[in-house]
Amino acid sequence: MAAGGAPMTRPTIPAADALIGVKRPVLSHGFVVLVDYMGGDAAIVQAARVSYGAGTKTVRDDRGLVRYLMRHRHTTPFEMVELKFLVRLPIYVARQWVRHRTANINEYSQRYSIVPDEFDLPALEDIRQQSARNRQGRSDPLPAGTAEKFRSDLERLSGEAYGAYTAALEAGVARETARLVLPLAYYTEWYWKTDLHNLFHFLSLRLDPHAQEEIRRYAAELAGIARAVAPVATEAFEEFQLQGVSLSRREQRAIRALLGGATPEAACATAGLPLTREDGKPMSTGEGVEFLEKLDRLRAAE
């Protein structure tokens, strides 16, 4: 029973209800589906005020409270909102995704069920050179012939692997063993349930430009669903965390030097943020380079 003896009802959000069961396509054969949710912006406000019902505060007051909580990293109220997804994704994306351990997960069993003949086939523009700066990323486009050959090889080898998988099953090899021949491009599927605080943490890492492009596409779909479930909280997350810029102690020193009229290079030198190596060559990574990138972001901000 709610306060005053009135029956409790489950709060619903029309925009979120409209997304339940809707497949949002990602990559060749993947998708994200909102299965269920619990709570929204009102649940965050309720938890923060430790009260029941709508209360006496205005919508404007509630929005201000949510933004205050996000600004000051009061994260517990955001844990009151839960989202449950059904996700179909390539195994190579799943191996990155599962590193986020703050969720409940139940994956399609390739020991129990036969793997469908579906593998990820990237578009030619997504097949690019190894980045010289980011050792786990890609950078510039490849010559068309190189990208086309890789794509052709992937399609051929995946087909051959699935043929070997099917032949093994027909010969009586156990499914849990036969699956070993399948490459990382094949798809898996899972239920993934998390609270809004931990979803925001996932998004802060997987929407970052340094994250792999494929998982960023999944993260973008999750963000769109979060926006329907808790629009005020998601707006605050995007403003204060996703688009915010943090400054270390040295970077704050550099900012003070900039405000005093120093050039960015001189400000870095004053703050101890190196831009050159010992041999005098410019650095491509490091704190100084990252600080200049933050300045570029600030200049480009609308």
Residues annotated as catalytic are: 206
Q: What token pair was written down for 259? A: 């405000």
* Residue 119 DSSP code: B
The tokens 């579906």 sit on which residue?
Answer: 118
Instruction: Report the C-alpha gap between 150 and 115 in whole angstroms.
Output: 24
Instruction: Report the C-alpha gap between 55 and 46 in whole angstroms.
Output: 8
Q: What token pair was written down for 116? A: 């469908």
The tokens 């094949």 sit on which residue?
Answer: 186
What does 11-24 look like in DSSP terms, one character per residue? ---HHHHTTBT--E
Instruction: Report the C-alpha gap between 167 and 153 in whole angstroms.
Output: 21
What does 227-251 look like in DSSP terms, one character per residue? HHH-HHHHHHHIIIIIS-----HHH
Instruction: Report the C-alpha gap between 278 and 280 in whole angstroms.
Output: 5
Contact 86, 204 (CB under 8 A): no
Instruction: Report the C-alpha gap between 190 and 206 in whole angstroms.
Output: 18
| Closest to 43 in 3D by CA, of 51, 34, 33 | 51
Q: Give the length of the chain.
A: 302
Contact 34, 16 (CB under 8 A): yes
Question: For the chain, what is the radius of gyration of the CA atoms?
Answer: 24
| Closest to 187 in 3D by CA, of 122, 119, 123 | 119
The partner residues of 187 in beta bridges, in order of sequence, read: 90
